Amino acid sequence: MDMPAKAKQFPLPSSLKVVPGTERAQAAYPYYTQFEAADDQRFWFYNSMHFPEPMAAFDMVTAEAAYCALGSSNTRVQCLPTTLGIDHRIINGRVYIGGNAVTDPAQIARRLEEFKQRAFYYYANWERLYDQWRQKMMALINAAQALPTPYLPEFEPLANVHAGRGIAANHTLLDTYQKTLEGYFRMWHHHFEFLLLGYGAYLTFFDFCKKAFPEITDQTIARMVAGIEAEIFRPDDELRRLARCAVELGIDPHFGKQLSATQLIETLRTEGEAGRAWLKELEISRHPWFNINVGDGFYHYHRAWNDDLSMPFASLPDYIARVKAGESLHRPVEKLLEERKQLIEDYRELLITEEERGAYDQMITLAHRVFPYVEGHKFYCEHWYTNLFFNKIREFGVLLAQHEFFGDAEDVFQLTHYELESAIIDLMTAWSNGSAPRGPGHWPKLVAERRAAIREWAKHETPPALGVVPDVIDDPAIVMLWGITRESLDAWLSTGADSDPNELKGFAACRGVVEGTARIVKSVDEISRLQKGDILVCQVTNPTWAPIFGKIAAAVSDIGGSMSHAAIVAREYGLPAVVGTGNGTSRIKDGQRIRVDGGRGIVTILG
Amino acid sequence: MVGWFAELGLADRPQVGGKGGSLGELARAGIAVPPGFVVKTAAFERFLEAAENEAPVRALIESVDPDSLADVTALSRQLRARVEAAPLPQDLAGAIERAYGKLNESHQAAVAVRSSATTEDAADASFAGLQDTYLWVQSLEQTLDKVRSCWGSLYSVESITYRRRHQFAERDVAMAVVVQTMVDARTAGVMFTRSPLTGDRSVMAIEGSWGLGSAVVGGEVTPDRWVIGKITGEISVREISDKQIRHVPLNEGGIQSVAVDESQRQIPCMSDVELEALRIVGRKVERHYGRPQDIEWAVDRHSGAILLLQSRPETVWSSREAAPVGRPAEDPSLHVLKIFGGFTR
């Protein structure tokens, strides 16, 4: 959509039209997510950070469950003084969100008193509560793993009858589905139990550093706070371990034969003791560390390493070669910790007064206290649990496809979670009665229509924001989670006025200037196209991509901030990177020569 | 009457002036500076004593009206002529000759001869820029001449006016002279060990251009500019400018401005490795003095070594330190209200 260069506001929600021909697909989203007239009075922005592509109907549950949990934590549990939750709306498959700020001073004061009793308790008892959190989360994961695969036998198994179970397999279907959904909503509550408090403590330190050292870079502050042994580094650490194992066991030649993951596993299984020993090590690594998906957990098609071993296996030949060249591939944890400590001390020394040093010490201590959660939760929530969730839904897809509801099991994700429940009830009713389900006559047409709509929506740009720009953005949740400020909105509004068409700006993630050939990689299947020295251009960089970081010269992503995991991992590997360019994958063409300036956050298209 | 840099420090400023004391202090701290010696104030006193014996000097200055430009100009002309023409006492000339000879045993002949007034660079009364510096001085004879010229610069119109306006007692005013090997600079410039823009103490700003540093200091060229993280070494700003001229030494002494070769104009005059080396030096100097510094530096064309020509305390931001950025809180959790409490960020 074109916008006048000097517009004081973004288009109103009511002026944003559903793409013609996709009205029915749009109507599939729940009524409470559709824009209404009153929404013109509010400010909305496109959450391209979490939802960079049009969302399939089922995947919308990731927005709904997340905002439900975020909002309750802010509004009712921790009682953040100045902000409530975040509303979301969907149009053309895009998720727009708007914050609810608290502006009445009396309300703020009242909430502040509540906040101190709640949040401060969390800060004071962080380790104990976080330890409890891990136990809750593992219990949730175990419960999800224990759910049965949806299945409808011709006759109820005799054992169930003799046991007097009293419920039939079709009820188990509904039970499993509802538990799956319930567990997913619950997981998001756990996700937000600590998150805002964690970000807040981190930002407190960040804010102090920016005032004390106005020209300090975001990366430097991040380096002072970031953990060294976070869960997020484990999957890649495991790959390095497996590479060392392969060399020690003498089976490394198999990895140079360009075999697929399946062929390789089959070869090793039949190649004697050493091969089987390595496969045993592989299993140890896979559970749980390959429960990591190639996205950020918001799209059903971002599959986990465990579901598609081609991704982790692609990096093994490189790692094996490095082991054979004498590298240990161990991350120098001690050294990294020492460097972090030195960095903190060196900046401390630059402060002028003892008072400032005292405040600095308190804030960095608090930031270190909360940060393991900020870094660690994603592995459990957005990766491990989310994979289990989508895979369970996928199992329902398989069952429904067997009963001809869909041509393809993946079609299940074209239904909202309400619709899926109705399809399951349709199937269980038909199974009960010995009649034919209605679904096969109902869903295929809708699925086709919705798939076409998503393809169509993807072709259309959507405005970065809608409605009237607020004078100040004082909503800590919006500032923290999306990095949106009045300045960034002004920058969005002026896009196109005086910007260089060959220049893209993003967050400086890891310094270094590199020129090379751009490779637009939109899915894991395309990973093999990357040649040594290429520059990876993708929508989201993610810890999962770390194994290919040794091969590429730089990385550019559409989404992510300087504290995103992509940025943390890039720094870890010393890979020049610019994240959060907004639209790098659409503006840069595959094969173009580009320059990445990771220190300034600028990508230049050279032609 | 003569002291080598390595023997001197800031505490010797009354005898060697601000510049001499600073160079001595740097040399002692293990920072590479172009080697040299200082003709101490005692030498000046000795010289002036001889001059006063012929005709008064200090009394004339103390009685001149600083508001009468004509009077000051006439006096300046008279005194400078006298100083520059007066013969050096034999023992003094001998001492300088021996030191000059020693400097030339291991180094090339060209030297810089710099005024180093005793009160120069002092925070209370900056004389900076009021005294002369002579670059690329080629011989002992010229060196001896320029030492007297430096002494004479104490009697420039500006200097006399400045001292009278500030009512300095003439007997407290003395001049030391630094004689230092000239650096044939490939690149030279200045460095602030804090941001000149924001006062941030965690970054350093470096400006440099091709040739001798006088082109940068004198504002005759737009230098390349970098901002470097003092601790991280991260280069956050790189502005490579079109460097049209550079200063080079003249064979007959002095310097001249020449055009920079077309191919060199728009390429960085410092490599990242050199910037990193400069950062390390800057940090060392700052730590030595315990406060941010304003530094002049050069890269030797032949050896590639980075040498410091001068380091002074930074004065602009230091004189207006802001209120503390934070204070310790009784409960550390209270700090988060900055973010959550609805205060403007």
The alpha carbon of residue B197 is apart from the nearest alpha carbon of chain A, in Å, by: 9
Query: Which residue on chain B is closest to A354 by alpha carbon?
Result: B327
- Which residues between 107 and 146 in chain A have a beta carbon less than 8 angstroms from any beta carbon of chain B? 108, 112, 115-116, 119-120, 123-124
A201–B345 C-beta distance less than 8 A: no
Is the pLDDT at A3 greater than 70? The verdict is no
Chain pair A-B, CB pairs under 8 angstroms: 132
Query: Which residue on chain A is closest to B238 by alpha carbon?
Result: A600
Structure-block tokens of residue A487: 């300045």
- pLDDT tens-digit series, residues B184-196: 999 999 999 999 8
Query: A476: which chain B residues are within 8 Å (Cβ-Cβ)?
Result: 339-340
Chain-centre distance for alpha carbon B13 = 14
Is the pLDDT at A474 greater than 80? The verdict is no
Question: Would you state the pLDDT for residue B121?
Answer: 43
Interface test with A, best of B271, B320, B340, B344 (most A CBs within 10 A): B340
Query: B193: which chain A residues are within 8 Å (Cβ-Cβ)?
Result: none
Query: Which residue on chain A is closest to B203 by alpha carbon?
Result: A215
Residue A472 in contact with partner chain B when CB distance is under 8 A:
yes
As beta bridge partners, residue A224 has none
Residue B88 phi/psi, 5-degree rounding, is -75, 140
Closest partner residue to B327 (CB to CB) among A108, A358, A480 is: A358
- pLDDT tens-digit series, residues A283-327: 999 999 999 987 778 999 988 999 989 888 888 988 999 999 998
Task: Give domain status of residue A166, yes or no.
Answer: yes
Structural domain total, chain A:
4
Out of 3.30.1490.20, 3.20.190.10, 3.40.50.720, 3.40.50.2020, the CATH code matching B2-181 is: 3.30.1490.20
A442, A467, A488 - which closes a domain: A488
Question: Could you tell me the sign of the dihedral formed by the alpha carbons of A505, A506, A510, A515, in that order?
Answer: negative
Whether B200 and A215 have beta carbons less than 8 Å apart is answered as yes
- pLDDT tens-digit series, residues B197-213: 889 999 999 999 999 99
- pLDDT tens-digit series, residues A83-123: 999 999 999 999 999 999 898 999 999 999 999 999 999 99
Residue ranges per domain, chain B? 2-181, 185-320
CA distances from A327 to A234, A323, A337, A532, B25 (A): 18, 5, 20, 19, 46
Largest CA distance in chain A: 81
Query: A365: which chain B residues are within 8 Å (Cβ-Cβ)?
Result: 332
Task: Give domain status of residue A295, yes or no.
Answer: no
Whether A529 and A548 have beta carbons less than 8 Å apart is answered as no
- Region B30-59: mean pLDDT is 92
Contact partners, residue A59, CB within 8 Å, separation at least 6: A298, A299, A300, A413
Query: B195: which chain A residues are within 8 Å (Cβ-Cβ)?
Result: 214-215
Q: Which domain holds residue A581?
A: 501-605
CA distance A244 to A250: 10
Is the pLDDT at B100 greater than 80? The verdict is yes
Is the pLDDT at B129 greater than 60? The verdict is no
Closest partner residue to B229 (CB to CB) among A200, A207, A220 is: A220
- pLDDT tens-digit series, residues A251-268: 999 998 888 899 999 999
A216–B336 C-beta distance less than 8 A: no
CA distances from B132 to A156, A603, B153, B173 (A): 106, 49, 6, 16
Question: Would you state the pLDDT for residue A419?
Answer: 98
Is the pLDDT at B335 greater than 90? The verdict is yes
B333–A359 C-beta distance less than 8 A: no
Closest partner residue to B340 (CB to CB) among A216, A476, A600 is: A476
Cα-trace Rg, chain A: 25
Contact partners, residue B318, CB within 8 Å, separation at least 6: B291, B292
B232–A343 C-beta distance less than 8 A: yes
Mean pLDDT (chain A, rounded)? 89
Structure-block tokens of residue B54: 């012929």
A465, A488, A511 - which closes a domain: A488
Residue A77 gets which letter from DSSP? I
The alpha carbon of residue A213 is apart from the nearest alpha carbon of chain B, in Å, by: 5
Q: Are residues A139 and A224 in the same domain?
A: yes
Query: B196: which chain A residues are within 8 Å (Cβ-Cβ)?
Result: none
Helix (H) or strand (E) run with residue B205 in it: strand B203-210
Task: Give domain status of residue A407, yes or no.
Answer: yes
Q: Please count the CA atoms within 13 angstroms of the CA of B256 that sit on its side-chain side.
A: 6
CATH of the domain at A526: 3.50.30.10
Among B84, B101, B79, residue whose Cα is nearest residue B145:
B84
Task: Give domain status of residue A201, yes or no.
Answer: yes
Chain-centre distance for alpha carbon A257 = 33
Alpha carbon dihedral A498, A504, A509, A515, in 10-degree steps, equals: -130
Which residue type is seen at A310?
A: S
Question: Would you state the pLDDT for residue B131?
Answer: 64
Which of A43-52, A312-321, B64-73, B310-319 is least confident? Answer: B310-319
Residue A599 in contact with partner chain B when CB distance is under 8 A:
yes
- Region A237-264: mean pLDDT is 92
Task: Give domain status of residue A573, yes or no.
Answer: yes
Class of B185-320 per CATH? alpha beta
CA distance A589 to B102: 66
Query: Which residue on chain B is closest to A510 by alpha carbon?
Result: B234
Fold matches, B2-181 and B185-320: no
The alpha carbon of residue B260 is apart from the nearest alpha carbon of chain A, in Å, by: 27
Residue A340 in contact with partner chain B when CB distance is under 8 A:
no
B326–A347 C-beta distance less than 8 A: no
Largest CA distance in chain B: 79
Q: Are residues A59 and A201 in the same domain?
A: no
Helix (H) or strand (E) run with residue A263 in it: helix A261-269
B229–A217 C-beta distance less than 8 A: yes
Which residue type is seen at B48?
A: L
The percentage of residues in chain B with a pLDDT greater than 70, rounded to a whole number, is 93
A214–B325 C-beta distance less than 8 A: no
Interface test with A, best of B230, B238, B325, B330 (most A CBs within 10 A): B325
Q: Are residues A178 and A197 in the same domain?
A: yes
Query: A200: which chain B residues are within 8 Å (Cβ-Cβ)?
Result: 336, 339-340
Whether A482 and A108 have beta carbons less than 8 Å apart is answered as no
Query: A347: which chain B residues are within 8 Å (Cβ-Cβ)?
Result: 202, 231
Question: Would you state the pLDDT for residue B203?
Answer: 96
Contact partners, residue A44, CB within 8 Å, separation at least 6: A13, A89, A96, A97, A98, A465, A466, A467
Q: Map B289-313 to HEC letters.
A: HCCCEEEEEEEECCCCCEEEEEEEE
Question: Would you state the pLDDT for residue B124?
Answer: 38
CA distance B93 to B144: 8
Task: Give domain status of residue A342, yes or no.
Answer: no
B333–A124 C-beta distance less than 8 A: yes
Identify the residue with better confidence: B153 or B125.
B153
Interface test with B, best of A362, A366, A368, A507 (most B CBs within 10 A): A362
